[in-house]
């Protein structure tokens, strides 16, 4: 029995496809980022415990970014030896050392691992009180965009955030074959896709464009150094390849995933507008426009979602009747087999 719903607008279908692709890209990158982040955290804490006197006392849950005194000291007035702009080493009046002798050293490590020139950790995304115990709080300092403060794990972080960590954190570079800081590298290109897809007000995409986004996501997940050897990353590649097949299926869960991603994106843009005091008029206007677009997208997606849900209920009723019929008419073994077939047909083909 064929339950096929065809959405007429192919460009919308392609947009949904690309949106789902972003979710698979995240799924493929998150376990890798989680593993490498934990290794780095382990290395940082071990190094601190082996080299510092008096003996550091892990965990520390008392320090704050606004008052933390780093381990390193300024060279002279306003000159940071690690070259960080507005470094805590240069604003000394209200700074105090970590009472457990650990957070100042973690602060230094994060700056030293930061890949930009000059190094620019994004402290606001992170909670210093969890630095000594939560690897992801350290990793989040490498996400150079607001809106990640409440993200507690790699799995909780979108693909843009994960790629930021890979590009901006030097520790990750030895685990990636691509030169992620080189000009026109693929990771930097793919990092922009989430914005490009979710900030398009008409929710439409050309098929060729959607396919080229997905192809690039696949190449990222097939990075020669480690990702290509990881089962989780290659499972995500399989899902991305399925998306490219004609007649790929979309479930109600997929729609919920897209809605969740747009909501998440809206929260991030809202966060940026909240911090708009430091932004120029032009940037502020741009943020406001993006938010309006996302809101329009959200209500459009919700409308489409409801419409599909309604159709799904109709299908479900039909299927239940079909199942009942099979239970009565056929043999028990046959029933189970047919039942599974019918059950697996409960999805949309759009
Ligand atoms: Zn400094
Ligand atoms: Zn501390």
Angstrom distance (rounded) from CA 198 to CA 137:
26
In the reported structure, the alpha carbon of residue 162 is separated from the centroid of ligand 2 by a whole-number distance in angstroms of 26
In the reported structure, the alpha carbon of residue 166 is separated from the centroid of ligand 1 by a whole-number distance in angstroms of 23
All residue ranges of the chain with pLDDT < 70 are: 1-8, 201, 275-279, 311-350
In the reported structure, the alpha carbon of residue 102 is separated from the centroid of ligand 2 by a whole-number distance in angstroms of 6
Q: Which ligand is nearest to the CA of 92?
A: 1
pLDDT digits (tens, 9 = 90+) for 224-237: 999 999 999 999 99
Q: Which ligand is nearest to the CA of 81?
A: 1
Calculate the CA 124 to chain-centre distance: 17
Backbone angles phi, psi at 177, to 5 degrees: -75, -35
Two tokens, residue 158: 């979108």
What number of CA atoms fall less than 13 Å from residue 99's CA on the CB side?
7
Cβ-based neighbours of 3, under 8 Å, separated by 6 or more: 315, 318, 319, 345, 346, 347, 348, 349
Q: Which ligand is nearest to the CA of 85?
A: 1
What number of CA atoms fall less than 13 Å from residue 229's CA on the CB side?
6
Q: Are 240 and 214 spatial neighbours (Cβ–Cβ below 8 Å)?
A: yes
In the reported structure, the alpha carbon of residue 135 is separated from the centroid of ligand 2 by a whole-number distance in angstroms of 15
In the reported structure, the alpha carbon of residue 101 is separated from the centroid of ligand 2 by a whole-number distance in angstroms of 7
pLDDT digits (tens, 9 = 90+) for 184-228: 999 999 999 998 898 776 788 999 999 999 999 999 999 999 999
| Peptide bond before residue 54 is cis, with ω within 30 degrees of 0 | yes
pLDDT digits (tens, 9 = 90+) for 250-275: 777 777 788 888 888 888 888 777 76
Coil, strand or helix: which one is 254? helix
pLDDT of residue 328: 54
């Amino acid at each position: 029995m064929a339950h096929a719903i065809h959405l007429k607008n192919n460009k919308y279908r392609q947009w949904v496809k690309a949106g789902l692709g972003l979710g698979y890209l995240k799924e493929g990158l998150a376990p890798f980022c989680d593993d490498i982040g934990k290794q780095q955290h382990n290395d940082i804490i071990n190094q601190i415990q082996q080299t510092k006197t008096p003996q550091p006392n892990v965990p520390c849950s008392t320090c704050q970014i606004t008052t933390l005194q780093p381990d390193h000291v300024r060279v002279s007035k306003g000159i940071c030896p690690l070259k960080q702009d507005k470094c805590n080493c240069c604003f000394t009046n209200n700074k105090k050392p970590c009472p457990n002798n650990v957070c100042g050293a973690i602060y230094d490590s994060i700056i030293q691992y930061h890949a930009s020139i000059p190094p620019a950790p994004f402290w606001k995304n992170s909670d210093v009180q969890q630095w000594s115990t939560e690897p992801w709080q350290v990793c989040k300092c490498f996400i150079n965009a607001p809106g990640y403060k409440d993200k507690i794990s790699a799995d909780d972080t979108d693909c843009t955030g994960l790629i930021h960590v890979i590009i901006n954190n030097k520790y990750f570079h030895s685990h990636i074959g691509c030169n992620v800081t080189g000009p026109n590298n693929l990771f930097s290109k793919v990092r922009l896709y989430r914005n490009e897809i979710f900030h398009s007000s008409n929710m439409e995409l050309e098929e060729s464009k959607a396919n080229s986004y997905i192809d690039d996501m696949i190449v990222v997940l097939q990075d020669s150094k480690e990702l290509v050897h990881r089962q989780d990353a290659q499972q995500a590649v399989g899902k991305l390849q399925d998306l490219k097949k004609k007649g790929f299926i979309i479930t109600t869960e997929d729609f919920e995933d897209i809605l969740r991603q747009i909501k998440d994106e809206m929260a991030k843009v809202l966060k940026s507008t909240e911090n708009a005091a430091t932004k120029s008029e032009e940037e502020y206007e741009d943020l406001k426009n993006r938010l309006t677009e996302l809101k329009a997208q959200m209500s459009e997606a919700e409308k489409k979602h409801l419409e599909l849900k309604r159709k799904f209920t109709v299908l479900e009723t039909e299927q239940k009747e079909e199942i009942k019929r099979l239970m009565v008419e056929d043999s028990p073994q046959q029933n189970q087999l047919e039942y599974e077939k019918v059950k697996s047909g409960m999805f949309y083909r759009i």
